[in-house]
Structure 1
Amino acid sequence: MLDSFLVRAALAGLGVAVAAAPLGCFVVWRRMAYFGDATAHASILGVALALSFNMSVFAGVLVVALVMATTVSTLSGRGYAMDTLLGVMAHSAIAFGLVAVSFLDGVRIDLMAYLFGDILAVGRVDLAVIWGGALLVLALVGWRWQQLLLSTVSPDLAQASGIDPKREQLILTIALAVVVAVAIKVVGVLLIAALLIIPAAAARPLAHTPERMAAIAAAIGAVSALGGLQLAYRFDTPAGPTMVCVAAGLFGLSSLVSLSRV
């Protein structure tokens, strides 16, 4: 079954959608959209480092994304605004990454594949990495779900309940770094944040509980992945951007449903 590149692509898209859905909800609730975007941009530096040291691209991206996420979490509130830190580190990381790639002699790299994804080139090893990362993220978020929710709704109440909001934010940033690392092959650096945010934003008007919102976001992400893949195959368009376009269309429909209830 896995000999078909379309089957592997579909499974890869589903893996990323399932992993991104609950995290996307927290990104929307915490208004961290730029955080996910910045972490994704920094992953280009991880690609350059992985190629330089002849290591796995997944490992290189994961290391840089983790460093980026933890650095921003540590420095925020210490004299710098969060958006300022994200802007400086995201653009600096992608610039250093692009410059580092230009120094790699004898290494041919398709930057477009990393910027916009190349889901049709996903192999069996990539598929194992994507689903392994997705299951890790789901286990981590499931384990800390109530603590993450409470620290998101009210950091003061979480502190009073014996929960450290900083620790929960660190757990969330680690999970985001893992999603960025597994999604770069599917949708690329520039579209990872879209796959995180758009399904969650589309699910928000349709859900009355956090758990239902995460489930609906996963369903929307899955439909976006499979529908975008089918449209890309039929009309010969880039797969990653087409998936995001389907997600954007579903967000538009969700917004119309929300407006019709007013």
Structure 2
Amino acid sequence: MDEIVFWLLPLLMALLVGILCPVMGTLLVTQRRVLQANLISHAVLPGLAVSVAFGFDPAVGGIISGILGSLLAERLQRSSKLNEEAVINTVLAGFLGLGVLLIPLLGLRLDLEALLFGDLLTVGWLDICRVLVACLAVALLLGTRYRQLVYLGVDPEGAAAAGLPVRGLRLAMSAVTAAVIVSAMAAVGVILVIGLLCAPVLPGLRRVKSLRAAMVQAAVVGLALSGGGFLLALPLNLPPGPLIGVACVVLLCPLARRST
């Protein structure tokens, strides 16, 4: 019985993350915020390190650190009019470097490989609870701001002209994105999570007629990717997180053949 529970908990985690990440990823892709999400996925590391050092929940520190990285990048873009991609990638590298430096400076003993690339076989009920909280945050964001987010994704300038709280919406998206990334770190890590946020969204995005339909379709694909990757990793004796990341790339290969 204990052995069955041991395998069921990681499988449950894989399935939950496989649904959650593509749903949030659909919103990020349609809002053209994927690069910002990539920044957040790297910017959570300093907050995780500080939280562990002072005995706080790492999820809280990771979310705060991710939001700070996102806010810093947006502030630099607005104040200096620098190239958006250049600013985001520079802040990304800086926060990631800071996180790596804090680990020895604070005398921490962290499994950096598991943190960056995930380790499904070590998940516990606390990790499941974090994913459920992130699911609740996504549901709350979509339930209260769905129409505004659709408008913002279709016509950002029109949304601003119409008086929508564009900055507030983007800040809320950054906070929820950070929560999703931190909750998924036990499954696929804070680096590989970007693949699960994006890959399930892309194959059928042009065929759907609404944001809801795109989210449902992406969730189904993500469920198959994450659950299938985990079940395939077991007999092959491979780490599930990196295998899921590779599966995300394989999923997109047929799209390249169609476009040629």
The equivalent of 2:123 in structure 1 is 122
The equivalent of 1:193 in structure 2 is 194
The question of whether the paired residues in 2 share the 8 Å contact of 1:202 and 1:255 is answered with no
Q: Which AA in structure 2 matches 1:194?
A: G
What is the CA–CA distance in structure 1 between the aligned matches of 2:186 and 2:50, rounded to whole Å?
16
- Report how far residue 170 of structure 1 moved: 1.6
The question of whether the paired residues in 1 share the 8 Å contact of 2:63 and 2:175 is answered with no
Q: Which AA in structure 2 matches 1:117?
A: G
The equivalent of 2:29 in structure 1 is 28
What is the CA–CA distance in structure 1 between the aligned matches of 2:134 and 2:26, rounded to whole Å?
18
What is the CA–CA distance in structure 2 between the aligned matches of 1:247 and 1:88, rounded to whole Å?
26
The equivalent of 2:104 in structure 1 is 102
* Residue 251 (str. 1) matches residue 243 (str. 2): no
What is the CA–CA distance in structure 2 between the aligned matches of 1:191 and 1:99, rounded to whole Å?
21
The equivalent of 1:87 in structure 2 is 89
- Report how far residue 237 of structure 1 moved: 1.0
- Report how far residue 81 of structure 1 moved: 2.7
Post-superposition Cα deviations, 1:109-142, rounded to whole Å, max 9, x if no partner, equal: 1110001001111101111111121222222123
- Report how far residue 203 of structure 1 moved: 3.1
| Of 207-216 and 29-38, the range deviating more from structure 2 | 29-38
* Residue 147 (str. 1) matches residue 148 (str. 2): yes
Post-superposition Cα deviations, 1:152-196, rounded to whole Å, max 9, x if no partner, equal: 111232234331222222221121111111111211122011111
Q: TM-score scaled by structure 1? A: 0.90
Q: Secondary structure at the match of 1:208?
A: coil
What is the CA–CA distance in structure 2 between the aligned matches of 1:18 and 1:70, rounded to whole Å?
27
Post-superposition Cα deviations, 1:24-80, rounded to whole Å, max 9, x if no partner, equal: 123222333221111111122122111221211111211111211233234433213
| Of 144-153 and 207-216, the range deviating more from structure 2 | 207-216
The equivalent of 2:11 in structure 1 is 10
Q: TM-score scaled by structure 2? A: 0.90
What is the CA–CA distance in structure 2 between the aligned matches of 1:6 and 1:25, rounded to whole Å?
29
Matching of residues 169-188 of structure 1 within 5 Å: 169-188=170-189
What is the CA–CA distance in structure 1 between the aligned matches of 2:201 and 2:136, rounded to whole Å?
19
What is the CA–CA distance in structure 1 between the aligned matches of 2:21 and 2:143, rounded to whole Å?
13
Q: CA RMSD in A?
A: 2.2
| Of 114-123 and 136-145, the range deviating more from structure 2 | 136-145
| Of 200-209 and 44-53, the range deviating more from structure 2 | 200-209
Unaligned runs of 5+ in 1: none
What is the CA–CA distance in structure 1 between the aligned matches of 2:139 and 2:75, rounded to whole Å?
24
Q: Secondary structure at the match of 1:174?
A: helix
Post-superposition Cα deviations, 1:186-230, rounded to whole Å, max 9, x if no partner, equal: 111220111111111123144232221111111111111100000
- Report how far residue 92 of structure 1 moved: 0.7
The question of whether the paired residues in 2 share the 8 Å contact of 1:229 and 1:239 is answered with yes
The question of whether the paired residues in 1 share the 8 Å contact of 2:41 and 2:66 is answered with yes
What is the CA–CA distance in structure 2 between the aligned matches of 1:28 and 1:234, rounded to whole Å?
34
What is the CA–CA distance in structure 2 between the aligned matches of 1:247 and 1:231, rounded to whole Å?
14
Q: Which AA in structure 2 matches 1:58?
A: A
The equivalent of 1:76 in structure 2 is 77
The question of whether the paired residues in 1 share the 8 Å contact of 2:15 and 2:223 is answered with yes
The equivalent of 1:229 in structure 2 is 230
What is the CA–CA distance in structure 2 between the aligned matches of 1:19 and 1:138, rounded to whole Å?
10
What is the CA–CA distance in structure 1 between the aligned matches of 2:75 and 2:23, rounded to whole Å?
23
Of all paired residues, the percent bearing the same amino acid is 25
| Of 199-208 and 166-175, the range deviating more from structure 2 | 199-208
What is the CA–CA distance in structure 2 between the aligned matches of 1:22 and 1:169, rounded to whole Å?
17
The question of whether the paired residues in 2 share the 8 Å contact of 1:66 and 1:173 is answered with yes
The question of whether the paired residues in 2 share the 8 Å contact of 1:24 and 1:196 is answered with yes
